[in-house]
Amino acid sequence: MRTQVGIIGAGPAGLLLAQLLAVRGIDSVVLENHSRDYVQARIRAGILEQGTTDALRDAGLGARLDREGLVHDGLRLTFDGEQHRLDLRALTGRAVTIYGQTEVVKDLIAARLDSGAPLHFEVDDVRVDVATPAVRYRHEGVEHELRCDAIAGCDGFHGVCRAAIPEAEVTTWERAYPFAWLGILADVAPSTDELIYARHERGFALHSMRSRERSRLYVQVDPGDDVARWPDARVWEELHARLASDGFALAEGPVLEKSITPMRSFVAAPLRHGPLFLAGDAAHIVPPTGAKGLNLAMADVLVLADALIDGSPAALDAYSDRCLRRVWRAQHFSWWMTGMLHVDPAGDAYDRELARSQLRYVTRSRAAATSLAENYVGYDR
């Protein structure tokens, strides 16, 4: 088998890349090791920057997004029992859209399958050969070799593509955090019309949503914690305590899903090794506090699609550096938001006062608020 671009991973990065290339007449084959049902049900991110929604629309995927996505012009910060609003649109001219990663992935898979272009689920034993270049894999018990001009490693943090680059040719940076997020999906209308990020002495909490009917809520927990130790009543009790502010009432509902997500910052560079191009979580991850992971993955493949369509050595060479500028801005913003909003169990009173001072600053200074807002809606220069 032969194709122009072999794409490993049918997450948001791999699927959007396939769509962008197809629109411009470039052939690709997408290989995914999980089933379609599994990929479509994986609950993860849900906040799309304007650059991401524009890209989805340009790729012909705007219909359901425009019908069901919730445009948010602002966000709320709660600390010391008070809620403050940051007007993202007034500060930056831009907004964000709430539309679950599950929905983005469903739309992208439907578009790919409708077009008849190859997308194979449940492939096994994917191996990357950068010398040939080729991707070898097993599907339905049969061995395959896919020869390609370029290989897009869109296989997430635990994929095989990053590991295919010799260790000596890649530099990594990493930061672990002493906390994780316990998230629930609740069958209840959101108690707020915009996201609430809260810092409380008991830890961080976030009130987010997936639709007008479904709420997504998080509390900071220990990274070694276990969901079994968090019955629904305990989760709601913490949410009530941490999100409390004058005039805010949290509505409870049946919990449909509950999971713990560890937090890590990671970058591997460069994003290119010969014909292999890493994109999205395969190359970098951020703690979810800045809502950047999905948006960075989409931003990478927008640059990659342009480079592959251009095809010149200069365009392909520029891919890694162009992405890394944005990646490092998002790394800093995600690290900074995480530090400001979480309570470090090893921290002391001095750390707590610094975080409170920073929160007062971003809610009282227009310059500080603009900086937060500019990063939150997506900064790419």
Report the interface residues with ligand FAD, using CB under 6 A.
Answer: 8-14, 31-34, 39, 44-45, 101, 126, 154-156, 159-160, 261, 280-281, 288, 291-294, 297
Q: How far is the CB of 31 from ligand FAD (least distance, A)?
A: 5
User: Taking a C-beta distance cutoff of 8 angstroms, is the pair 139, 51 a contact?
Assistant: no
| 292 included as an active-site residue | yes
Of 99, 137, 177, 197, which residue is the catalytic one? 197
Ramachandran assignment for 280, one of left (phi > 0), alpha (psi -120 to 50 degrees), beta (any other): left
Using the minimum distance from each CB to ligand FAD, give the nearer residue, 275 or 280.
280
CB atoms within 10 A of CB 55: 22
| 288 included as an active-site residue | yes
Q: How far is the CB of 258 from ligand FAD (least distance, A)?
A: 12
Of 200, 207, 273, 292, which residue is the catalytic one? 292
Using the minimum distance from each CB to ligand FAD, give the nearer residue, 248 or 266.
266
CB neighbour class for 168 (10 Å; exposed up to 12, middle 13-18, buried from 19): exposed
Residues whose CB falls within 8 Å of the CB of residue 39, separated by 6 or more in sequence, listed in order: 10, 11, 32, 105, 109, 121
Q: How far is the CB of 8 from ligand FAD (least distance, A)?
A: 5
Three-state SS at 30:
strand
List phi, psi (to 5°) of 268. -120, 130
Using the minimum distance from each CB to ligand FAD, give the nearer residue, 129 or 361.
129
Query: CA 197, CA 182: separation in Å to the nearest integer?
Result: 14
| 144 included as an active-site residue | no
Q: How far is the CB of 33 from ligand FAD (least distance, A)?
A: 4
Three-state SS at 141:
coil
Of 12, 275, 287, 288, which residue is the catalytic one? 288
List phi, psi (to 5°) of 202. -85, -5
Task: Find tokens 């480079």 and name the residue.
Answer: 307
| 12 included as an active-site residue | no
Using the minimum distance from each CB to ligand FAD, give the nearer residue, 188 or 301.
301
Using the minimum distance from each CB to ligand FAD, give the nearer residue, 101 or 192.
101
Q: How far is the CB of 34 from ligand FAD (least distance, A)?
A: 4
Q: How far is the CB of 316 from ligand FAD (least distance, A)?
A: 20
| 207 included as an active-site residue | no
CB atoms within 10 A of CB 358: 18
Query: CA 45, CA 43: separation in Å to the nearest integer?
Result: 7
Using the minimum distance from each CB to ligand FAD, give the nearer residue, 216 or 242.
216
How do strand 142-153 and strand 196-200 relate by DSSP bridges?
Answer: unpaired
Residues annotated catalytic, as ranges: 72, 197, 288, 292, 376
